[in-house]
Amino acid sequence: MLVTFLRIALAGIRGRALAALLTALLAAVTAAVLTLALGLRSVADEPWDRTFRETNGAHLIALGGPEVARLARLPGVVEAAPPVPGSFTSFALAGQRFALNALATGPEPPRVERPAVTSGRWLTAADEIVLEQSFAAALGIRPGDAVDAAASSGRIRLRVVGVAAIASGAPYPDHQPGIGFVARDALVAIQPDSERWIWSQAVRLSEPARADELAGRARQSFRPESRVVVESWFERRSEAGDRSRTTTIVLTAYSALLLVAGVLVLVNLVGGRAVTRHREIGLLKAVGFTPRLVALLFLVEQLLLGLAGAGAGVAGGAVLLPLVAGDSAALLASTPATVTGAHVALSIAAVCTLMAVATVLPTIRGARLGVVHALAAGRSRRSAGAASRSIPLGRPLPLTLGLKEALGRSSRTLIAALALTVTVAALVAGLTFETTTRNEANIDAGALAAISRPGDRAAPGAADQLAPGHPDPIAVPGMSARLRPIVHSLNAVLVLIAAINLLAIVVLTVRERTRDLAVLKAIGLTPAQLGRSVHAAQTVAVAAASALGIPLGLALFLGVYAIVNGDTDRTAIPPWWALAATPLLLAAAVWAITLAPARRASQLDVTTALSRE
Amino acid sequence: MTDPILEARGLAKTYSSGGVDVLALRGVDVALAPGEFVAVMGPSGCGKSTLLSLLGGMGRPTAGEVLLAGVRVDQLSETRLALLRRRSIGYVFQFFNLVPTLTVAENVELPVLLAGGSRGQARARREELLALVGIERRDAASPAQLSGGEQQRVAIARALAHRPAVLLADEPTGNLDSASARQVVDVLRHGRGEGQALLLVTHDARVAAAADRVLTMRDGLMVDETRVTPPREVPSLLELEV
């Protein structure tokens, strides 16, 4: 029985290949978007704490001379790694010198404050270096590159073999100099005089909540002239939180936008399935299916498609997540986001649950009808509602017919309009962000230069210990400039989602309208007019998205900016022509997306289309 | 016989279904004079609807030719065929096929607007036709709000709206009760006085009896032709019904 049932379900899928493909595609897009949104949210969700956990971060760190090793003997310490020596040096890149804090962790990363490799591998040889990821990202250095670090003998070539995350204070360039992990031999080459090394001792405590109290006690235990600095994990987290606040707000806003986009795709999916299958129900009941069996059959059919689509979507989301969230993780100096089992389960469950609801409810309604009524209901279609009637039939006929069609399918048009509105709002926010970034750059020209603040790992006076080739001061790009690639890549994702959603809506609509389009063709609409009527049906969504999306985008950006900066004095609204061009570009994009379905509509065979019942 | 307004010569149509060729029409000749009413009968699947769709320019024959007013039309482009339909051909479907997002009035006005008429002309023609088919008070209704008979009458009003030279009707009474069927046939015959030719596919012998000629098809071939006594001399069976 089960095998027969599955065979019938699979035959049903094969029999409606296009509809099945669209359903699976929408399920895949929904699952991918949900996976991305959840992943992005997890990047923004306490990035420092996550990195701290994954790197077995230190509750206390002492920086200074070799005596910092005494920190490991402090009461309450439960875990300590051997002290790590380091030295400041610099290297040249693109005509500029950059300071580097070379920490000689060696081939075995320390147990505490253990760097988490995010790309490449850990170092194994004396001529290799692993760079901290926000430093590598800011300088555009990847595994496989090489840096020539200043050394006592001139310089030493170090091959970058990996990039790693650590739970330091603020990410580079707020925290300078950048950090690199090298072998002891490389450190000796950079600074042979071990008296000039800076040692760091990282420990974990049995009572982390008492870290500040123990840090004070530790400071008292070192002689004042030793110039040892002791920092608790609370101080580092506080500094990291201040620096990453903007990034987390932006990422949270985008994960919310992605969730909205995902929900809209889901609603579209539900709407697509809500197309009543009364006629099929009638046919099945006529051959002996009970209402329960009909519902079960449709449910199995949809769940097969949903599982296949959602599985592919989650896999796609997992592939996309590092591309979309990679920059964010680097900017937050956190470990990269990964798709967790919970994300996978949540995405697939959300898609399958809604597909089940979307299938079962109309099926139950349909199954209550008698066979004859169900067969007849399968032929009935929408009626000219009030919104559709408000548009008088007139010339140009393709436009008015398209508008009437769009308003006759108000729920689907609403979904299309909302999906486009979200995308337009995100794009306008991105445009305003870009304009504001330039405005900030103009305001800050000259003022942003010359920030060279030794990092919190440097002992007082550490700047004096810089190796030959002291770097020039490094300009710290504004946060807006650093967020630019993240904002633009997330906007690209939203555009992609909106395009797929819109395409699915138009394809579904054309498919459902096949008979109506054939009738229009039969009474004299030319193929070109049919195509134009399909394009025209999207005018409502484009107009609504333009009218709502532009002010919403401006408000979204100004709102986020005000939350981040406290005021909007430095913001700049995009020029009027850029905003005026938005609806035109949107219309052109929608026209391009609708091209293939419109062409399909214009070329349909009237006899074949009308013979379908 | 006067020159035919619509003519088919050696019309053949082959459909390919699941890799198997199905011969729907196997060389059919038919001619329709202006003002003539011809009924086509035959069992299901004999090719009646296929013949009608080819004559209406809604499909292309595999062989043979279709001439409208002496001009060959089966090789015209899709666009030229559409222009031809909006000028010269009216089509009535078995399942009404009204545009669901248009009101009754708009469904009837659409062909007039398509043919180049003004909105005023379209409105006047719609009022005339809806009065003719007896549902002038339902002009603001949606097709879904009408009964089957009412929908079919609107569909006929739509087919007549642009005063086509040829009216093609595919089982227009197939889904209707006797009373509605009688009204529908009466309306379909309305344009004959203006020289409008009517080709009607039907299973109903009573409907066919109202025609000037009855053609019988079987297995894609025209197998019989019967000339019916002119209705002006003998009242049609429909008119004799209570």
Q: pLDDT tens for residues A318-352?
A: 888 777 666 666 666 566 667 788 888 988 888 88
Indicate the pLDDT class of residue A255, thresholds 50, 70 and 90. Answer: confident
Contact with chain A for residue B59, Cβ under 8 A: yes
Task: Quote ipTM for the complex.
Answer: 0.84
**Candidate from B53, B59, B114 with C-beta closest to A523:** B114
More confident residue, B61 or A366: B61
What pLDDT, on a 0 to 100 scale, did the predictor assign at position A538?
A: 86
Indicate the pLDDT class of residue A548, thresholds 50, 70 and 90. Answer: very high
- The answer to whether residue A447 scores a pLDDT higher than 80 is no
What pLDDT, on a 0 to 100 scale, did the predictor assign at position A277?
A: 62
Report yes or no: B184 and B173 within 8 Å, Cβ to Cβ.
yes
What pLDDT, on a 0 to 100 scale, did the predictor assign at position A465?
A: 41
What pLDDT, on a 0 to 100 scale, did the predictor assign at position A267?
A: 72
Report pTM: 0.70
What pLDDT, on a 0 to 100 scale, did the predictor assign at position A478?
A: 55
Contact with chain A for residue B171, Cβ under 8 A: no
- The answer to whether residue B89 scores a pLDDT higher than 80 is yes
Contact A606 B58 (CB under 8 A): yes
- The answer to whether residue A556 scores a pLDDT higher than 60 is yes
Most confident of A365-379, A437-451, B117-131: B117-131
A207-240 residue pLDDT tens: 999 989 888 888 888 877 777 888 898 888 887 7
Q: Of the given ranges (A440-449, B92-101, B211-220), which has the lowest mean pLDDT?
A: A440-449
Indicate the pLDDT class of residue A173, thresholds 50, 70 and 90. Answer: confident
Contact A524 B83 (CB under 8 A): yes
- The answer to whether residue A450 scores a pLDDT higher than 50 is no
Contact with chain A for residue B23, Cβ under 8 A: no
Contact A381 B58 (CB under 8 A): no
**Candidate from A384, A405, A527 with C-beta closest to B78:** A527
More confident residue, A40 or B84: B84
What pLDDT, on a 0 to 100 scale, did the predictor assign at position A495?
A: 84
- The answer to whether residue A379 scores a pLDDT higher than 70 is no
**Candidate from A393, A519, A524 with C-beta closest to B109:** A393
A409 Cα to chain B: minimum distance (Å): 9
Percent of chain B topping pLDDT 90 = 32
Contact B114 A397 (CB under 8 A): yes
More confident residue, A376 or A204: A204
| Tokens standing for residue B164 | 């086509």
What pLDDT, on a 0 to 100 scale, did the predictor assign at position A453?
A: 36
A387 Cα to chain B: minimum distance (Å): 10
**Candidate from B59, B83, B102 with C-beta closest to A404:** B102
Report yes or no: B123 and B109 within 8 Å, Cβ to Cβ.
yes
Which of the residues A523, A525, A604, A612 would you substitute to probe the B interface, choosing the one with the greatest number of B C-beta atoms within 10 Å? Answer: A523
Rounded mean pLDDT of A545-558?
Answer: 91
**Which residues in A lie closer than 8 A to residue B98 (C-beta atoms)?**
519
Which of the residues B50, B81, B102 would you substitute to probe the A interface, choosing the one with the greatest number of A C-beta atoms within 10 Å? Answer: B102
Indicate the pLDDT class of residue A166, thresholds 50, 70 and 90. Answer: confident
Indicate the pLDDT class of residue B166, thresholds 50, 70 and 90. Answer: very high
Contact B101 A613 (CB under 8 A): no
Contact with chain B for residue A275, Cβ under 8 A: no
CA–CA gap between residue A33 and residue A26 (Å, rounded) = 10
- The answer to whether residue A477 scores a pLDDT higher than 80 is no
Nearest chain B residue to A387 by CA distance is B101
Indicate the pLDDT class of residue A128, thresholds 50, 70 and 90. Answer: very high
| Tokens standing for residue A410 | 């108000």
* Mean pLDDT over the full length of chain B: 85
**Which residues in A lie closer than 8 A to residue B159 (C-beta atoms)?**
523
CA–CA gap between residue B132 and residue A598 (Å, rounded) = 37
* Alpha helix (H) residue ranges in A514-605: 514-522, 527-536, 539-565, 576-602
Contact with chain B for residue A520, Cβ under 8 A: yes
Percent of chain A topping pLDDT 90 = 11
Contact with chain B for residue A521, Cβ under 8 A: yes
**Candidate from B58, B83, B95 with C-beta closest to A379:** B95
Report yes or no: A203 and A79 within 8 Å, Cβ to Cβ.
yes
Beta strands A178-182 and A96-103 are: parallel
More confident residue, A458 or A265: A265
Nearest chain B residue to A602 by CA distance is B78
What pLDDT, on a 0 to 100 scale, did the predictor assign at position A176?
A: 78
A and B: number of Cβ contacts within 8 A:
102
Each residue of A494-525: b (16+ CB within 10 Å) or e?
A: bebbbbbbbbbbbbbbbbbbbbbbbbbbbbbb
Report yes or no: A125 and A153 within 8 Å, Cβ to Cβ.
no
- Phi then psi dihedrals of residue B174, to 5 deg: -60, -30
CA–CA gap between residue A179 and residue A226 (Å, rounded) = 23
- The answer to whether residue A6 scores a pLDDT higher than 60 is yes
**Candidate from B79, B85, B100 with C-beta closest to A523:** B85
A311 Cα to chain B: minimum distance (Å): 33
Contact A522 B91 (CB under 8 A): yes
- The answer to whether residue A376 scores a pLDDT higher than 80 is no
- The answer to whether residue B184 scores a pLDDT higher than 70 is yes
CA–CA gap between residue A502 and residue A413 (Å, rounded) = 10
